[in-house]
């Protein structure tokens, strides 16, 4: 039980006994450095329950807690803040309960309802790029955090493998590819297909310019460009099941899937299931029919079907065109329902999609609720901001994107250059160095992206992210490696449990244990808020606290045996917690660095 749990119970009891009033929640925060105390009770929210001076309220509660709670040894009140000093015994007993626990902070699966997390969901006409990287890292990390919080989790994606954009790559390859393949070009399949997406755009722009020179307006030229008309014809043939077009589509998509898998492996993420738009684009139509019967949808004079969401503050939304064909919304309705059929234990879903789709998901979730699906109340859009580069915005069709594979390679090279300048890896074999460079480079990339609140836009600077100082992945990895170096020097038994009688706490030891105690709650908060940033920044705070401890007390040179054993155990627990926290972000930690 955490100190917050203990104090919360006693503050509620005190409130009842002192004021004959029920208190539902107690708000805590860390005591500010300039005041004495270990944890602070915020009394201002309580003034809604009792009308009195906040300082007097704090005084009353402080006296009650010192008298009735063994863990509270002293208190002071600053305005509306009750600062409590907690006895060393509590922190020592807590520490003895977690030391040696490699899974401290993680909750074994508690919930009988699973959560499905969707992320990546790329188009099969180009490689994954920097924007996908943020999506993939967020989705994967949120899935891992939800698992650590006690949820069963399924990771999934829907691959957008049909439509005019796919036909553009297919047609360009057919016209200009001369039969080349990933094997003949030594290119990853997704890169090869992406090149033809760019080629299509180049030819398309050239044809538009030719038509405009013949007197057509730009709008007319865009519609009448021969290569676009041919791509539209190819899409019609695909939808009609034309054998030659379908065979080309299957071959090129297979190239892309192989390329994606290589990238996912390099990034270090995985999936439990895959959905394909080519299989799901017809889903949902049966539910439109049902919704028409129950009044969720209505039909307009032209035969199109709509959902009127104006009473809910939104617009009317089309779910079926007048010719009976589905729209994206229809498909998403059907796919959500299909997932519940495929995984009956799923009670909620997280969609990792950029913030340009905020409105789409508001509408989707609302329609699913109106259709009467109980699980629809547990749908969440993990909305995130764009990733910008110092050089400006990326455009896939113009070939100005930052390719995910190239980015990983660049991060590894940047880590190598900085490590060599700092001389940190002398004495390592070349293979060991390359492994560490990749670990540092990927750690830098992932941490830089995940430490930022998902809703905020990011300006990504590779060199800044690999800095070995400050709030960066390499700084935290280096601290972990430093602790491992200390532990390798230990030549005495550290598995003993020291009693509270044998040990008194240095201020720096106590601060470090207080930071460790927060980890389980940080995981729960990160899960509730779908925010890896909470885990990332907690880890940075833990590392700062350890470095302060390391600079102020001697670990292996401690004055007596008990101090030495305790400090080694404390360092080991910090290392375990860094490793666990980073695992939730998909980041590895090097044993040496």
Tell me the DSSP string of 283-334: TTHHHHHHHHHHTSSEE-TTS-EEEE-GGGTS-EEEEE-TTS-B-HHHHHHH
pLDDT, tens digit (0-9, with 9 covering 90-100), for 180-199: 999 999 999 999 999 999 99
**pLDDT at site 205:** 97
pLDDT, tens digit (0-9, with 9 covering 90-100), for 515-537: 999 999 999 999 999 999 999 99
What is the residue-wise DSSP string for 156-193? EEEEB--SHHHHHHHHHHHHH-TT--HHHHT--HHHHH
Sign of CA dihedral 524, 105, 540, 73: positive
Which residues, listed in sequence order, are joined to residue 72 by a DSSP beta bridge? 86
* Domains annotated on the chain, with CATH: 3-86 (3.30.1360.70), 114-281+328-388 (3.40.50.620), 285-325 (no CATH), 437-584 (1.10.730.10)
Tally Cβ neighbours within 10 Å of residue 229: 12
Residue 394 has pLDDT above 80, yes or no: no
pTM of the model: 0.91
**pLDDT at site 397:** 46
**pLDDT at site 502:** 65
Q: pLDDT confidence of 63, banded at 50, 70, 90?
A: very high
Give the integer Cα–Cα distance in Å for 504 and 501. Answer: 8
Q: Which of 16-25, 281-290, 389-398 has the lowest mean pLDDT?
A: 389-398
Mean pLDDT on 29-50: 93
pLDDT, tens digit (0-9, with 9 covering 90-100), for 331-371: 999 999 999 999 999 999 999 999 999 999 999 999 999 99
Token readout for 291 is 């919704």
Burial readout 549-569 (b: 16 or more C-beta within 10 A, e: otherwise)? bbeebebeebeeeebbbbbbb
Q: 146's torsion region: left (phi>0), alpha (psi -120 to 50) or beta?
A: alpha
Residue 145 has pLDDT above 90, yes or no: yes
Give the integer Cα–Cα distance in Å for 120 and 337. Answer: 20
Q: pLDDT confidence of 114, banded at 50, 70, 90?
A: very high
Token readout for 300 is 């307009």
Token readout for 246 is 């379908």
**pLDDT at site 450:** 97
* Vertex 137 angle, CA 135 and 139, to 5°: 65
Tally Cβ neighbours within 10 Å of residue 363: 20
Q: pLDDT confidence of 36, banded at 50, 70, 90?
A: very high
Residue 102 has pLDDT above 50, yes or no: yes
Give the integer Cα–Cα distance in Å for 201 and 228. Answer: 10
Which residues fall within 8 angstroms of residue 34, CB to CB, at 6 or more apart?
none
Sign of CA dihedral 161, 131, 348, 312: negative
**Nearest-10 Cα torsion for 105, 592, 134, 458:** 100
Cβ pair 306, 358 in contact under 8 A: no
**pLDDT at site 391:** 64
The helix (run of H) or strand (run of E) holding residue 236 is helix 226-239
Residue 306 has pLDDT above 70, yes or no: yes
**pLDDT at site 289:** 92
**How many alpha carbons fall within 13 Å on the CB side of residue 70?**
3
pLDDT, tens digit (0-9, with 9 covering 90-100), for 436-478: 999 999 999 999 999 999 999 998 887 788 888 889 999 999 9
pLDDT, tens digit (0-9, with 9 covering 90-100), for 395-443: 444 445 688 998 899 899 988 888 887 776 777 888 989 999 999 999 9
Q: How far, rounded to the nearest angstrom, does the alpha carbon of residue 20 sit from its chain's CA centroid?
A: 44
pLDDT, tens digit (0-9, with 9 covering 90-100), for 536-585: 999 999 999 999 999 999 999 988 888 999 999 999 999 999 999 999 99
If DSSP codes are grouped into helix, strand and coil, which group holds residue 116? strand
**pLDDT at site 517:** 94
Mean pLDDT on 86-94: 93
Q: How far, rounded to the nearest angstrom, does the alpha carbon of residue 339 sit from its chain's CA centroid?
A: 21
The mean pLDDT of the chain is 93
**pLDDT at site 396:** 43
């Amino acid at each position: 039980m955490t100190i917050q749990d203990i104090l919360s119970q006693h503050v509620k009891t005190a409130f009842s006994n002192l004021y004959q009033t029920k208190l539902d929640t107690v708000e805590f925060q860390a005591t500010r450095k300039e005041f004495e105390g270990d944890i602070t009770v915020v009394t201002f929210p309580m003034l809604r329950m009792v009308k009195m001076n906040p300082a007097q309220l704090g005084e009353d509660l402080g006296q009650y807690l010192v008298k009735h709670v063994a863990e509270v040894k002293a208190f002071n009140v600053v305005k509306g803040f009750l600062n409590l000093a907690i006895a060393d015994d509590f922190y020592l007993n807590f520490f003895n309960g977690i030391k040696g626990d490699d899974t401290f902070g993680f909750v074994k699966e508690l919930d009988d309802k699973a959560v499905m997390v969707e992320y990546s969901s790329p188009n099969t006409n180009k490689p994954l790029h920097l924007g996908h990287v943020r999506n993939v890292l967020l989705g994967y990390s949120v899935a891992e955090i939800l698992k650590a919080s006690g949820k069963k989790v399924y990771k999934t994606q829907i691959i957008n493998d049909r439509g005019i954009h796919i036909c553009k790559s297919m047609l360009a390859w057919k016209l200009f590819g001369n039969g080349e393949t990933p094997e003949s070009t030594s290119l990853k399949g997704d890169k090869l297909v992406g090149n033809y997406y760019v080629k299509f755009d180049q030819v398309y722009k050239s044809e538009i310019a030719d038509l405009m020179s013949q007197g057509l307006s730009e709008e007319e030229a865009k519609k009448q460009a021969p290569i676009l008309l041919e791509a539209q014809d190819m899409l019609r043939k695909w939808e009609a099941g034309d054998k030659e077009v379908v065979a080309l589509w299957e071959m090129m998509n297979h190239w892309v899937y192989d390329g994606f898998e290589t990238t996912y492996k390099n990034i270090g993420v995985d999936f439990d299931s895959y959905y394909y738009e080519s299989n799901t684009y017809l889903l949902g139509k049966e539910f439109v029919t049902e919704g028409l019967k129950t009044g969720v949808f209505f039909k307009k004079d032209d035969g199109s079907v709509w959902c009127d969401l104006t009473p809910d503050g939104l617009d009317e939304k089309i779910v079926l065109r007048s010719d009976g064909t589905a729209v994206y919304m229809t498909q998403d309705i059907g796919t959500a329902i299909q997932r519940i059929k495929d995984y009956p234990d799923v009670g909620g879903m997280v969609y990792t999609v950029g913030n340009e789709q905020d409105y789409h998901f508001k509408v989707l979730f609302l329609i699913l609720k109106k259709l009467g699906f109980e699980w629809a109340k547990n749908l969440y859009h993990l909305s995130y901001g764009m990733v910008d580069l110092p050089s400006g915005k990326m455009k896939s069709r113009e070939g100005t994107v930052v390719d995910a594979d190239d980015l990983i390679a660049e991060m590894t090279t940047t880590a190598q250059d900085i490590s060599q300048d700092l001389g940190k890896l002398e004495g390592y074999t070349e293979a060991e160095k390359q492994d560490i460079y990749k670990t540092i480079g990927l750690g830098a990339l992932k941490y830089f992206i995940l430490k930022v609140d998902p809703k905020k836009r990011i300006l990504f600077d590779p060199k800044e992210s690999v800095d070995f100082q400050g709030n960066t992945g390499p700084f935290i990895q280096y601290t972990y490696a430093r602790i491992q170096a200390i532990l390798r020097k230990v030549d005495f038994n550290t598995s003993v449990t020291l009693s509270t009688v044998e040990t008194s706490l240095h201020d720096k030891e106590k601060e470090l244990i207080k930071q460790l105690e927060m980890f389980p709650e940080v995981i729960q908060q990160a899960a509730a808020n779908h925010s890896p940033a909470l885990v990332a920044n907690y880890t940075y705070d833990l590392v700062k606290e350890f470095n302060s401890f390391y600079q102020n007390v001697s670990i292996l040179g401690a004055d007596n045996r008990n101090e030495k054993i305790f400090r080694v155990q404390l360092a080991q627990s910090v290392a375990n917690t860094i490793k666990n926290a980073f695992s939730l972000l998909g980041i590895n930690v090097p044993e040496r660095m």
